[in-house]
Structure 1
Amino acid sequence: MMDFSESSRLELKEMINNEFKKEIIAFANTNGGEIYVGVAKDGTVVGVENSERDMERISSMIHDTVSRGGRPPYHLTDKGLKPSGVYVRHGVVSVPASEEMIRNMIRQSDRLTYDRVRSMNQDLTFQFAEYYFKEKKYLLQRRINVLWV
C-alpha cells in the first residue's frame, strides 16, 4: 500500500472541482508535480466514480489553462496575468503569485533584460518624465541624422 502525503510536488484531490485548474497552473509555474485524484487529504484512497469522464475533464482543463508550447507564467484565462490568475506551489499549497513573481516569470521566460520588460501597469504616460526633466532643468533634444549619398 502506498503512503500518500502532500508535498511541494504532490497534491491529493478527492474529486475534480473548480480549484483543480489552480493546482495545474501552480505546478506548471514552479517545478512540476503530480495530482492524485481519488485520494483524500489524509491519504485515504476513496476512488472516483467515472475515471474516463474525469480524465476527459482534466484533459480539457489542461488544454484550456496551459498554452501548448507556452512558457510561464501560466494563468487562469478569465483572470489574466495578475495575482488572482497566476498561482505557484509553496510547500503543500498553491498560492497566488505576487506581481513581482509574475514579472520575474515573464522576464525569465522571455529572456528579457530589465529595460525591455513589459510593465504590469499599462496606464503609462510621459508626464512624470516631463515633470522630472523640467524640475531638473534638463533639456529634451531631438536628434536627427541625415545621410547624404
Structure 2
Amino acid sequence: MRKWVARLKLVETQHIELKREIPTDLASEIIAFANTDGGKIYIGVEDDGTVVGVSDPDDVSQRISNILSYAIEKDLKGYVSIENEIIDGKNVIVIHIARGVDRPYYIKSAGLMPKGVYVRVGTTKKQASDELIKRMIHESMDMSYEGKVSPEQEMTFKYIEKKFAEMEKEFRPNALNFKK
C-alpha cells in the first residue's frame, strides 16, 4: 500500500486535506471530517501535493494526540488513527478520521455553537449553522444504541470467546439464537 500511495499525486478533495505542518486550527479540521463523512489529513505535504515530510514524526503524532484529548469535545479517539507513512522517502503523518456517531463534535473552548462546530464542504471546512447543529444533535439522539457504529470492530466469535475466558465464563456459541 505504501508503494502505491507514493506513486499517486496527492490532491485535496472532500476527503483529503494536505498540510505542510500542524496548523493552529487542526482541531477544527479534524472536527469537520468527523462531523461530515470522514477523511484523511496528511501532515508533511504542501497544498500542491509536494511531499516535504516532517522532521520528528513522534513529536507530531504526540501533538495530534494532545489535540484530540484536550481541544475537542466528545471523545473522538475511537474514530481517529494516526500513522507515519513513508511517501517519496519522507515521513508523512496521516490522520485517518471516520465519521463520528455522536455528532456534533466541537472545539471545547468555543462550545456547542457555530464558532466551535465545523463541517467539510468540498475541499474546505465551514462553520456549521445553528440549524445544522440542531439536526446533528437530533440525528445523534434519534439513533438507538444498537444502531450506532462501534469504533471497535473486533467482534468475532474468537474475540468473544477470548473475552469470556478472561472473565472465567463459559462461552457457548450454540446457545446464541440468531435469526435468519
Q: Could you tell me the TM-score, scaled by structure 1's length?
A: 0.71
How far did residue 33 of structure 1 move? 0.4
Secondary structure at 1:94's aligned position in 2?
strand
Q: Structure 1 residue 56 and structure 2 residue 62: aligned? A: yes
Q: Which structure has greater strand proportion?
A: 2
Quote the residue 1:12 is aligned against. 18
3-state DSSP class of the match of 2:119? strand
Cα contact 2:17–2:41 (8 A) shared by 1: yes
Aligned residues: 112
Q: Which has the larger radius of gyration?
A: 1
* Structure 2 unaligned regions, length at least 5: 1-6, 77-100, 144-180
Task: Say which SS state the counterpart of residue 106 (structure 2) adopts.
Answer: coil
Cα distance in 1, alignment partners of residues 108 and 74 from structure 2: 10
1:52 CA displacement: 0.4
Output aligned runs, 1:76-91, within 5 Å.
76-91=107-122
Match of 1:116 in 2: none
Which amino acid is the alignment partner of residue 112 of structure 2?
L
* Structure 1 residue 66: Cα displacement: 4.7
Matched, 1:72 2:78: no
Q: Is this contact kept in 2: 1:25–1:66, CA < 8 A?
A: no
How do residues 1-149 of structure 1 correspond to structure 2 at under 5 angstroms?
A: 1-64=7-70, 65-68=72-75, 71-111=102-142
Deviation, structure 1 residue 60: 1.2
**SS, match of residue 95 in structure 1:** strand
Taking structure 2 as the reference length, the TM-score comes to 0.59
Structure 1's unaligned 5+ residue stretches are 113-149
Structure 1 position 17, deviation (Å): 2.0
Q: Kindly, what percent of the aligned residue pairs are identical?
A: 42
